[in-house]
Structure 1
Amino acid sequence: MRESNLPLLIKAFLSNTHVTIAQQWLNSNDGKRAAYVICAMNAGIWLLWKVPRLRPSMQRHFLHDPLSGRWHTLVTSVFSHNSFMHMAVNNIALVGFASTTSHWMVVSESRVAPTLPESTTLYHFIAFYLSAGAFASLVSHVFSARFIWPRLVGKSLMKTTRRVLPGLGASGAVYACLGLTAMAFPTGEVSLLFLPFTMHVSTAFLGLVAFDAIGAVTAWRLGLDHVAHLGGAAFGYLYWKYGMQYWWVPWRDAAQVVADELLEEELKELEDEEKTKEGKQVEFGPAVEEKEDATRRTSSGKGNGEK
């Protein structure tokens, strides 16, 4: 009996799993759906790191070294993680804050352009995430190239404890989502990992920023890119303050211009159709009158014959 019921149990398990995943996907907003896709990409790239033959290529294209001269890794390194725990923490935080970030985009767009809202915030969130990750990587790059590297090659070579290390991870982009959420919804409750209590998201954000600021100044050897974290936090704050007008207002104006042009074309087509109809009426008017006269003569002739 157990062997015969085993396929049914497997089918039921797969069916329930499919329904659960589909329901979770349907109940999520655009930002959270984008976060799920990004998490899947992070997991795929993390698995590629485990292939020994691919490691040289992964180090060239998914690890940002400020001294390498490669710029595309400012973005590609955002999807790369050095350990499963590193990836898991970033993915969990991203899924949590992506939903609130996307909700803020919807609310802000309704205020900036109430008559012309976006149909979806998916592309807006993806652009925000990639820009935040690249900005955080760039801040870390500039700090390493302009401050750490000169000290390493200068007279204080033996005194400094810093090193120019390659960077990777989505922490900068996640910090941007956290910073925007903290500014937009400061009284929202959030629970940090490994802490048994909740706190306001604004309090957690300020605490993490203070922690990273101290780490950036004192050069803690914790394996964290504190400068990239601060860059992501700054990007989130600046985007909350000024981002919407730079993202949506130009697109709104461009969309309004296109809408006006389309309206003018439609009005012109209607005018041309009306003129065409009037021309046909003028052209066929005399012929219709002659036909009516002939019909009257015929009918009058028949009437006289009958009499």
Structure 2
Amino acid sequence: MLVNHLFSAVRRRSWFNRLSADNVVLGLIIANAAVFMLWRIEDRKFMVENFMISLDNFRSGRIHTLVTSAFSHIDIGHIAFNMIGLYFFGTNIARTFGPEFLLKLYLAGAIGGSVFYLLHHGYMDLSSKGQGMWVMDSSRTPGLGASGAVNAIMLLDIFLNPRATLYFDFIIPVPAILLGIFLIGKDVLRVMEGNSNISGAAHLGGAAVAAIAWARIKRGRF
């Protein structure tokens, strides 16, 4: 049994080694695009229950939404912005550390973003108790998008290359570390203000994953 497991692990690693950085990035983009199209042909209730993260879904045992929600977009602008970030930063990470590392980082960022999202909404749910019937039940407020996963990839690249020049809003050149500080600060502010349109908590979950990955790389343990 152990021998079979080892051979399976070797075959899987060999398969990953044959993939290029571009292959993995393209595969992730295609997966996101496929779910984007699925929103247009599948039953909406099915999609909400299986491709969105919420306390309600989590309590109902739909644990897979921790990951599937990070491949899920409804709005064209949302998926376009995330996929542009994934392409530019993901390609760089995959070429530096390998395609398997990128895939693991994406999935870790997805889970980290979902966990932070749930913690934030759990806190809001507890805080809203006793405030009357007109307060929206945050347990039924679903979220979706690859932002947590992409944030993990983007911020890891920034942590590793703090002096690189990046373009804020694709126009203004700024040092990478300043852009990273701005993005994290903006997400902290979103959490404090309770912004419901963009989940700062999910972004911060991705940032936490990036920080852990950066620390492990610095110790030579990636």
Shorter chain as denominator, the TM-score bin is 0.7 to 0.9
Distance 1:244 1:125 in 2: 17
Question: Number of paired residues?
Answer: 200
Corresponding position of 1:182: 158
Structure 1 residue matching 2:56: 3-state secondary structure: coil
Aligned mate of 1:137, from 114, 133, 137: 114
Structure 2 residue matching 1:148: 3-state secondary structure: helix
Shift of 1:202: 1.2
The runs of at least 4 aligned residues of structure 1 exceeding 3 Å deviation read: 29-32, 156-164, 243-248
Write the deviation string for residues 269-301 of structure 1: whole angstroms up to 9, x where unpaired: xxxxxxxxxxxxxxxxxxxxxxxxxxxxxxxxx
Spell out the pairing of 1:121-270 with structure 2 (5 A cutoff): 121-145=98-122, 147-152=123-128, 154-157=129-132, 163-164=138-139, 165-193=141-169, 195-221=170-196, 223-242=197-216, 248=222
Distance 1:31 1:244 in 2: 22
Report the TM-score, using the length of structure 2 for normalisation.
Answer: 0.81
Shift of 1:243: 5.3
> Quick check: which one's helix share is greater?
1
Corresponding position of 2:3: none
Corresponding position of 2:83: 91
Tell me the percent identity. 25
1:57 aligns with 2:46: yes
Distance 1:157 1:246 in 2: 52
Shift of 1:245: 5.6
User: Which blocks of at least 5 consecutive residues in structure 2 are unaligned?
Assistant: 1-18
Tell me if structure 1 keeps the 8 A contact 2:112–2:208.
no
Write the deviation string for residues 193-238 of structure 1: whole angstroms up to 9, x where unpaired: 3x521211211111011111011001134x1011000110111011
Spell out the pairing of 1:283-298 with structure 2 (5 A cutoff): none
1:66 aligns with 2:55: yes
Tell me if structure 2 keeps the 8 A contact 1:74–1:134.
yes
Report the TM-score, using the length of structure 1 for normalisation.
Answer: 0.60
Q: Which has the larger radius of gyration?
A: 1
- Paired residue type of 2:207: A
Write the deviation string for residues 81-140 of structure 1: whole angstroms up to 9, x where unpaired: 1211100000000001112222442xxxxxxxxxxxxxxx22221112111111111111
Change (3 A) 1:141 1:206: same
Shift of 1:74: 0.3
Distance 2:49 2:138 in 1: 19
Tell me if structure 2 keeps the 8 A contact 1:162–1:219.
no
Write the deviation string for residues 159-215 of structure 1: whole angstroms up to 9, x where unpaired: 97884421110000111011111110011111233x521211211111011111011
Distance 2:135 2:209 in 1: 29
